[in-house]
Structure 1
Amino acid sequence: MVSEIANVLENSDDLERQLRHLFNKNSNDEIQDKVHTKKGHLPDKVFMARNSFLTDLLEINHIQTIYHIFIALLFGLFVNSTTYDMIHTGQTKMGFDLIIRGFANIHILLFMWICMFFTSCFIYVMFHIWASLIMQLHPQSFYIKLWNKICLGLYLMHVATFVYLFTYNLVIYKLTAVESVAILCEIMRIVMKTHAFVRTNVPIVLQYKPHTEADAPIPEFSKFLYFLFIPTLIYKNSYPRTKSIRWGYVCKCFIEVFGCIVYISFVTERFLIQEFREFGLKSFGWKEIILIILGNGLAGILVLLNTFYAVLHSWMNGFAEMLRFGDRMFYKDWWTSTTYSRYYRTWNVIVHDWLYTYIYKDMYENVVPGNKLIAKLTVFFVSAVVHEYILGFTFRFCFPILFIEFFGIGVAISFLKSGHKVIGNAAVWYGLGLGMGIGISAYALEYYARLNCPVEDSGLAAYFIPRSIFC
């Protein structure tokens, strides 16, 4: 008995040491992520070799058990739902049919992605031509100013044309919602990547002095190509690299991605489609709609957690491992946030770093020097517009719920602080559930309202006028 107690205490001490080491290692991430390089300027992003937060946590047996329990719960939910469907309808609805219909035009999706990839490489060609001529002209020459303006105009025209053409094509080819969101996210990823490359390298070329420096500051195409695929939106000429590729770990990551997709499809079919598919065909009262929205908070949290794990953990780690990209801090411990301001900084570190570096930092240092409020509002506005653009063309209608949640409610609650950790963390989680419930319910209502209540007018006004209010 004494030996058993000693073993328990020893294991408890070991767990405590592991947790303390892990949290001490990550507690200063927000300081280590960025360092000051110039006096009077905001700190810059710094890359270092490190694992994702959950990768370290899941090495602890006790935490890994929670992961196993979550898998068992999902399996139990599938079994219960399948049994219910077989008894009542004689067929199963596990979400696979929704996935198959969602990727019905995958050949068009892949073709458009290949076209986007080769089009994005044109940015490097444009940059190389601009930089080569810049270094041959006199710094004070009239022609260099004219050349800069011409190239800036061509760059802006390229970005606008790129976004317009591929958005137009996904509408013309009538891609499904799943395919549309994949294309739209890829459009924004490439735009953010190319802007990061141009924004980082243009000042270096402009400061180049041909008589004092040996090598021209034009990155090789291989560096641009590597940057296009690695899971970061901040351009550097070099990144921390791992020594080898663990192909077993890569397979595990993409199996997890597929599992999360199946589960999201299952939740969508079971909780969302089931609730709203008859909206517009039968009467729905406001009380009934409110109860459905509040009840969808749990479904919203499930979608949120699965999307987070699939994209920001499994997908990013899989690509990082294949490309030997060392910095795996794609997110931080956002689930412990006691304020929304911290949640925004830690939920998606990849996008947050881009917004901080190329929007917030540029606004604060160059556009409105020293004004953090305007810089912050600009970041929220850009984020809200991009999210609304993605959802608007995914569902083919404008229903600015997400814009209001981001730029209205999101800005307001970012200033709120809680002096109590338990209350603050609980409030963040409740807000996430309520926000997701409102968001997915509102878009589902509008989607089925337009599907079940078609109108003859298909002009621009029909895109903006909500059908669910009048249906």
Structure 2
Amino acid sequence: MAKDSIKPIRRQDEQRVNNKIFVSKEELLDKVKTKPGELPCKQFEARNSLLTDLYELKHVRTVYHIALATLIGLLLNSAAYDYLQKGEFSFGFSLIRKGFVNFHFLIVIWLGMFLSTLPIYLGFKYWAVIRIQLTPQSSALKLWDRLCLGLLILFYSGFLYFSTLAATHNGQQTTATLGLLMEMARLLMKSHAFVRSNAPRVLKYKPHSDKELPCPNFNKFLYFFFAPTLVYQDNYPRTKTIRWNYVTIWFFEFIGGIFFLSFVLDRYFIFAFEYYGIRSYNWQEILIITLGNFATGMLLLLGLFYLLLHAWMNAFAEMLRFADRLFYKDWWTSSTYDRFYRTWNVVVHDWLYTYVYKDFYEIVTPKNKVVSKLMVFFLSAIFHDYILGFAFGFYLPILFINFFGFGVAFNFFKIKSDMFGNILFWYFTGIGMSINSTFYSIEFYSRFNCPIENVTIGSYFIPRFISCNK
């Protein structure tokens, strides 16, 4: 496992384990107050990902070896089953072959999405340069600001529409479309972060002062769009060198993670429901499969976490010499979902906190934490359902219910016992992943095995698995 050279940051309540210093739980603070009366702002520091430090411990590294041994065992079991029962070897790789059959189209579409974000920089700089030439507090200045704000909203809408259209209308499979839509969301969040972070500096600029117009140069804009963060700053802590051997290791882990997730989905969900609509499934059978895939749901969660938030993020951070590797915290020790939401994906959480929660709390609904928190859950639920809905070609409100229903409820639900809370957290997380995967698998094969001739807008929202199961 790659070992980063960045030294862990000490804050408070540090623990010494095997003569090494590690930061405990929530004591790894990453936000600081800048002005009285305002919420703390994101603070970037040179630090490792938590697993990078933990892998220095022999006992933790052994857990990683156990995970690899388990993966090898699952692959060998699948190979034996495929050969003895079907006379072939698949290892669950069929999803990968289908998902990236038109890989060259994916590159072209991604390039188009990226290039379409460049007008954000040009438009922002043009707005700032024209603005300082207008008379302060004049009607022309107010008209110019409102016109540019309207054009920005129009750009967001157009980018969302055309990116979705390109991702879903070029023969891409579900896996490829899902990746493109996730990238669309990332670029949209980056665009908003750049404008939202720099606009206040331009608004406060005094034309007759000696200072230069606070508009970042293009290099800073370009670096931000590739850096593994969604919160804009002019400068980030950087490492001195790039260790290409560690980049290679992390990319190999990323590729291995893709094969692992493909294998799990194919072996435990697709295989179980691929004949839905061809033969009848009763509710008892579906319930048994769902409950039986509780451990599989945890494997999906852990696989996605390691694939995206550790291997992929660390590889790009190393290539860009981005020193702040706090992409997640110790979410696995959570005893409440409130803490899980804050520690699972720090990258997205920081964006939601900085540009949604903080803006609502300080500007839209001053000092109202409940409304600010509800807006965070609502926006997160909408975008999760948007991405999955267009990737699969149908809408199931499963994630909306999870995020804006159970997510909000569990956020205010506290358990005093950390041990009992952590046990419940792991069970509900595993069974929740299993339920989500089961419903999406059933609906996907219902539409594949029971196609209808007259497709309407309503058919996108109406579940097919109820009428198809005959």
- SS where residue 470 of structure 1 aligns? helix
Residue in structure 2 matching 1:416, options 413, 416, 422: 413
CA drift at 1:93: 2.0
> Which residue in the other structure is 2:235 paired with?
238
Q: Which moved more, 1:326-335 or 1:161-170?
A: 161-170
Residue in structure 1 matching 2:399, options 398, 402, 408: 402
Judge conservation of contact 1:345–1:352 (CA < 8 Å) in 2.
yes
Residue in structure 2 matching 1:391, options 388, 391, 402: 388
> Which residue in the other structure is 1:91 paired with?
88
Assess, with a 3 A threshold, how the Cα gap between structure 1 residues 458 and 23 changes in structure 2: closer, same or farther: same
Counterpart residue type for residue 112 of structure 1: I
* Inter-partner Cα distance in structure 1 for 2:288 and 2:63: 31
1:117 aligns with 2:114: yes
Residue in structure 1 matching 2:334, options 334, 337, 345: 337
Alignment of 1:268-307 (within 5 A): 268-307=265-304
> Which residue in the other structure is 1:447 paired with?
444
CA drift at 1:238: 0.4
* Inter-partner Cα distance in structure 2 for 1:97 and 1:27: 41
CA drift at 1:299: 1.6
* Inter-partner Cα distance in structure 2 for 1:215 and 1:94: 59
- SS where residue 116 of structure 2 aligns? helix
CA drift at 1:106: 1.0
1:132 aligns with 2:129: yes
Counterpart residue type for residue 18 of structure 1: V
Judge conservation of contact 2:22–2:53 (CA < 8 Å) in 1.
no
* Inter-partner Cα distance in structure 1 for 2:213 and 2:27: 37
- SS where residue 398 of structure 1 aligns? coil
Structure 2, unmatched stretches of 5+, are 1-14
1:258 aligns with 2:255: yes
**TM-score calculated relative to the size of structure 2:** 0.95
By percentage of residues, which structure has more helix?
A: 1
Alignment of 1:124-163 (within 5 A): 124-163=121-160
* Inter-partner Cα distance in structure 2 for 1:286 and 1:69: 35
CA drift at 1:168: 1.1
CA drift at 1:85: 1.9
Assess, with a 3 A threshold, how the Cα gap between structure 1 residues 19 and 201 changes in structure 2: closer, same or farther: farther
Counterpart residue type for residue 204 of structure 2: Q
> Which residue in the other structure is 1:171 paired with?
168
CA deviations over 1:66-116 (Å, ceiling 9, x no partner): 111111111121112212222222211202232111101111110011111
* Inter-partner Cα distance in structure 2 for 1:209 and 1:66: 58
CA drift at 1:384: 0.1
> Which residue in the other structure is 1:183 paired with?
180
Judge conservation of contact 2:16–2:22 (CA < 8 Å) in 1.
no
Judge conservation of contact 1:95–1:265 (CA < 8 Å) in 2.
yes
CA deviations over 1:188-237 (Å, ceiling 9, x no partner): 10010010000011110010012223211010000000000000000000
Counterpart residue type for residue 188 of structure 1: A
Judge conservation of contact 1:53–1:331 (CA < 8 Å) in 2.
yes
Residue in structure 1 matching 2:214, options 202, 217, 220: 217
CA drift at 1:169: 1.9
**TM-score calculated relative to the size of structure 1:** 0.95
Query: May I ask how many residue pairs the two structures share in their alignment?
Result: 454
* Inter-partner Cα distance in structure 2 for 1:112 and 1:209: 41
- SS where residue 108 of structure 1 aligns? helix
* Inter-partner Cα distance in structure 2 for 1:119 and 1:146: 26
Alignment of 1:49-64 (within 5 A): 49-64=46-61
- SS where residue 178 of structure 1 aligns? helix
* Inter-partner Cα distance in structure 2 for 1:27 and 1:380: 21
Root-mean-square deviation (CA, aligned residues, Å) is 1.2
1:18 aligns with 2:17: yes
Alignment of 1:99-114 (within 5 A): 99-114=96-111
CA drift at 1:17: 3.3
Runs of 4+ in 1 over 3 A off after TM superposition: 19-27
CA deviations over 1:109-150 (Å, ceiling 9, x no partner): 100111111111110000010000111112112111111111
Residue in structure 2 matching 1:369, options 354, 357, 366: 366
CA drift at 1:20: 7.7
* Inter-partner Cα distance in structure 1 for 2:356 and 2:210: 31
CA deviations over 1:363-394 (Å, ceiling 9, x no partner): 00001101100000000000000000000001
- SS where residue 466 of structure 2 aligns? coil
Counterpart residue type for residue 320 of structure 1: A
* Inter-partner Cα distance in structure 2 for 1:198 and 1:140: 22
CA drift at 1:23: 3.7
Judge conservation of contact 1:22–1:56 (CA < 8 Å) in 2.
no
1:350 aligns with 2:347: yes
Structure 1, unmatched stretches of 5+, are 1-15
